[in-house]
Chain A
Amino acid sequence: MTQGTTMTQPSGIPGGTGETPLLQVRDLEVTFKTVNGDVPAVRGVSFDLFPGENLAIVGESGSGKSTTATAILDLLASNGRVSGGSALFDGKDLTKVSRKEMVRIRGREIGYVPQDPMSNLNPVWNIGFQVRETIEANSDLRGKAAKARAVEVLEEAGLTDPGSRMRQYPNQFSGGMRQRVLIGIGMSARPKLLVADEPTSALDVTVQRRILDHLATLTSEYGTSVMFITHDLGLAAERAERLVVMYKGQVVEYGDSKEILADPRHPYTQRLVAAAPSLASRRIQTQVEKSGVAADPLGDVEPVVQAAEAEAKPEALIKVTGVTKVYDIRTGGLKKTPFKAVDNVSFEVPKGTTMAIVGESGSGKSTIAKMFLKLEDITSGTMTFDGQDVGSWPRRKLLEFRRRVQPVFQDPYGTLDPMRSIGTSIAEPLVTHGIGTKASRQKTVRELLDQVSLPSSTANRYPGELSGGQRQRIAIARALALKPDVLVLDEAVSALDVLVQGQVLNLLAELQSELGLTYLFITHDLAVVRMVADHVTVMRQGQVVEAASTDEVFENPKEQYTRDLLEAIPGGDFVFGA
């Protein structure tokens, strides 16, 4: 193959010798027709994928990575079309083959694993039916033979007891099991290429690791090439040899994944790599003199955390002692079974620090946040805030509590009222607590917007016009309006793209040092914890597994579960370039 530094998106035949690529995409253009005219979504994308190789397309939401994949599969939404370029797959141009031919290629030669395992299985049919449906569509097997093959497929997908699993329905499967089924379906016809669109982004890290490992075994066994579509650089570095970095519909960097991540050359890739949280990340500098911890301008974080430790816990602003939450689960009719969502949890958060509560889904971490916010009742145990019991906080002084403890929730799309302007939303806490006049509130709104680095004209806009990261910054501005002491951040950055996430985390760190805020940071993402937290509480099934300072947990985890979580972080040990 010719030396590739001059490969300026060749539109003709690639200068290749020997092997031909399995998939050769050249100058692919995709255009969407909208009310505002034609909008180009993918512009001049080119890359190669050889048999048995894995390729990852990374980029933020809206970068065109999924559109590229759907264009190759001819599954574009009805207002989209391939407006130029080609995608040669095994000698056939996928952008030109007939619809009938494409139906034959999809499933048989190109398998597809969709993003959301929760909505991509039909809830009214059992698993066996759905697997058989794919098998019958892509082979000559019928009846008993198809059924036998379906059992094989599920077995390959790593499900235990596939025979009886066949008769179960999707709602009886966990997210991980559903994703296994979808991978099984995608691989059932032994395709040459498998397109996996964010295959594990909806799953817990430990489940994600098992599924990716299984997928790797399966695809290398059959020599299947995999095209990952992902926003996760760590996953790309760990699972793919080839990397395509997309930004605003264009390829900004393409090549060997480890090489790119170790030495990113395009400013966008550099930015992306710099923002990617990994175990090698460091605590964002926040400490201020006020909390008795010296700020270290050189960015060496070790002494800071140790200092916080050595401080002998100045004053615990939040103290949680033996807290338990029991829900009654209705099991048909009038029967109820008690379910312990949170089981005897204790921790303390000193003023001005960040406590991260980490756990997978169902660990009870969000329930703790809800109880502390007084959105759920505490079954037993005590939570105190500034020396006062939260559970028995007098009702008439509730407003006072609400003023000092403010929440920021996970879903940036749900947390702002779509019918109210941004200015109204941010001013709402001020209005509710009767602070200031109309004019002074408007001034405060402008100041708050400035604090979260948004132009003051944003006040007149509506949530629908803003991106997820912008909405989350507005949610933070709203939470800050009352000058609270504590922010409860419930998965507040989990739904954001890496760059935007980094931006919000930096903002949070700045605000903490400026205003001396205390954070209760609920998350499933250990890599993020490393960047923001002083102390970590690891939870599993309602119980505390491990609690220590962040450095201790990351460098010297005592419990196996914590180690599992750390190891499961994709590309966790990979050193990203600067």
Chain B
Amino acid sequence: MPSNRHIERYVAPIEETPVAAVDAVDETQKASSVWLDAWKDMRGRWLTWVCLVLIVVIVVVALVPGLFTGMNPAGSSCNLGKSLDPPSAGHPFGFNKQGCDVYTRILYGTRSSLIVGLVATVLATLIGAVIGAIAGYYGGWLDSVVSRLGDIFFAIPTVLGAIVVMQVVPWGRNAITLAITLAVFGWPQVARIMRGAVLSSKQADFVTASTALGVSRGRNLLRHVVPNSLAPVIVIATVSLGTFIVAEATLSFLGVGLPPETVSWGVDISDAQAVIRVAPNLLFYPAAALAVTVLSFLLLGDVVRDALDPKARARR
């Protein structure tokens, strides 16, 4: 465009705008990685610490409940004379129908809840991740077969399925049996998520690049695709830990979970329903313990998800 307008020329003083080397690596910065970055982000949030402290306390209680109480949850420590007595000194949560200390029972009940939750989560995540990764990576008929199989399990409500299975297990009901049962019905969710993550990360350029470098298909899956698909699975695992603990309580409440002589929150909640009008504290305390435990894991899952997702980090 023709213009008679004079355009002023401005050149910045060179000392004010020093020119750095083209594209030099900033060696002053500390090396970092995806996981380290995520941890750095988590470290700065108070919610992380609340969850972690709660979880550590819960785990310690589950491992050595005797540290926090001198009594036994059943048998010798129970005194039928104190049946349904309100809280008193040394017995902050009162007594149940059998005259056992509710506080002690909650401490001892932590173990079975946590064992069921952890074992079920580990199993479901392992099964789901392996199946989901294979289905997503190899595709084709294998994917169809595996995905339909997952759908079948997915269509059966976990609790309903567990009720049927727990009724027929020949070797008797215990925490491990229950955990396996829950995992059998819980893996499809993990598999779906893993499959989706694998589907997207197997398209990544770095996978094509390493194929062209001569890396075999299986090795590519293990070294590049799976590690890049783990983040959503870790998130779903922390969330399912909470839901499995709830499922244990539900099944025990329905009388098909852990056997009645086991000390567990579900069993206690189940027992409490008969005396709910007389002693609501019997229902309240185990339910509260359950809620706090589940909430700690769910919130931790939330924090981990945010930390692994840069977009969520920016939103805060």
Q: Counting CB contacts under 8 A, is B214 at the interface?
A: yes
Q: Which residues of A contact B1 (CB under 8 A)?
A: 52-54, 220, 241
Q: How far is the CB of B205 from chain A (nearest CB, A)?
A: 3
CB distance from B21 to the nearest CB of A (A): 10
Contact of A499 among B3, B22, B205, B314 (CB under 8 A): B22
A92 at the B interface (CB under 8 A): no
> B16 an interface residue at 8 Å Cβ cutoff?
yes
Residue of B nearest to A245 (CB): B12
Please report the C-alpha to C-alpha distance between residue A479 and residue B33 in the assembled complex, in whole angstroms.
23
Chain A residues positioned under 8 Å from B205 (CB to CB): 409-411, 414-415
- Contact assessment for B204 and A464 in the assembled complex, using a CB-CB cutoff below 8 Å: no
User: Residues of B contacting A433 with CB < 8 Å?
Assistant: 214
Q: Is the beta-carbon distance between A432 and B219 smaller than 8 angstroms?
A: yes
Write out, one digit per residue, whether chain B residues 16-39 have a CB within 8 A of any chain A CB (1) or not (0): 110110110101010111100100
Interfacial chain A residues near B23, Cβ < 8 Å:
467, 469-470, 499-500, 503
Interface size class of B (residues with CB under 8 A): 35 or more
B215 touching A432, Cβ below 8 Å: yes
Q: Which of A249-257, A352-360, A557-565 contacts B (4 or more CB under 8 A)?
A: A249-257
Instruction: Specify which chain B residues have a CB less than 8 angstroms from the CB of A254 in the assembled complex.
Output: 8-10
What distance in Å separates the Cβ of A60 from its nearest Cβ neighbour in chain B?
Answer: 9
Determine if A251 and B22 form an interchain contact, defined as CB atoms under 8 angstroms apart: no
B3 to A414, Cβ gap below 8 A?
A: no
Residue A91 at the chain B interface, CB threshold 8 Å:
no
Q: Which of B145-175 touch A at CB < 8 Å?
A: none
Using CB atoms, name the residue of chain A closest to B219.
A432
Binary contact track B186-210/A, C-beta < 8 Å → 1, others 0: 0000000000000000001110111
**Number of chain A interface residues as a range:** 35 or more
Q: How far is the CA of A433 from the CA of B214 in the complex (A)?
A: 8
Which B residues lie within 8 Å of A1 (CB)? 5-6, 8
Knowing A247-B19, A462-B32, A499-B23, the reply to whether A259 touches B6 (Cβ < 8 A) is: no
With A52-B1, A432-B213 given, is the CB distance from A414 to B206 under 8 Å?
yes
Residues of B within 8 Å of A268, CB to CB, are: 17, 19
Q: How far is the CA of A283 from the CA of B278 in the complex (A)?
A: 93
* Residue from the set B22, B44, B213, B227 with the largest chain A CB neighbour count within 10 Å: B213
State whether the Cβ of A267 lies closer than 8 Å to any Cβ in chain B: yes
Residues of A within 8 A of B12 (CB): 250-253, 266
**Interface status of A417 (Cβ within 8 A of chain B):** yes
A432 in contact with B8 (CB, 8 Å): no
Residues of B within 8 A of A461 (CB): 25, 31-32
Which A residues, 381 to 436, have Cβ-Cβ distances below 8 Å to chain B?
398-399, 402-403, 406-407, 409-411, 414-421, 428-429, 432-433
- Given contacts A5-B9, A417-B206, whether A462 and B14 have CB atoms under 8 Å apart is no
> With A414-B204, A503-B23 as given contacts, are A267 and B14 in contact (CB-CB < 8 Å)?
yes
Q: How far is the CB of B29 from chain A (nearest CB, A)?
A: 7
Nearest-Cβ distance from residue B213 to partner chain A, whole angstroms: 4
Whether B7 pairs with A415 at a CB distance below 8 angstroms is no
Q: Are A406 and B213 in contact (CB under 8 A)?
A: yes
Give the complex CA separation of A377 and B29 in angstroms.
45
20 contacts between A and B (CB under 8 A): A1-B8, A3-B8, A5-B8, A79-B314, A248-B20, A250-B16, A252-B17, A266-B14, A271-B22, A375-B208, A406-B213, A414-B206, A415-B205, A418-B34, A419-B34, A421-B31, A432-B214, A432-B219, A465-B32, A479-B213
19 further contact pairs, Cβ within 8 A, besides A5-B8, A5-B9, A465-B31 = A3-B8, A7-B8, A19-B5, A35-B44, A254-B10, A266-B11, A374-B212, A406-B213, A415-B206, A418-B228, A419-B33, A420-B227, A455-B27, A460-B31, A461-B31, A466-B25, A469-B22, A470-B23, A482-B213
Q: For the complex of A and B, list the 3 residue pairs with the smallest distance between their C-beta atoms, beginning with the closest.
A: A4-B8, A414-B205, A402-B214
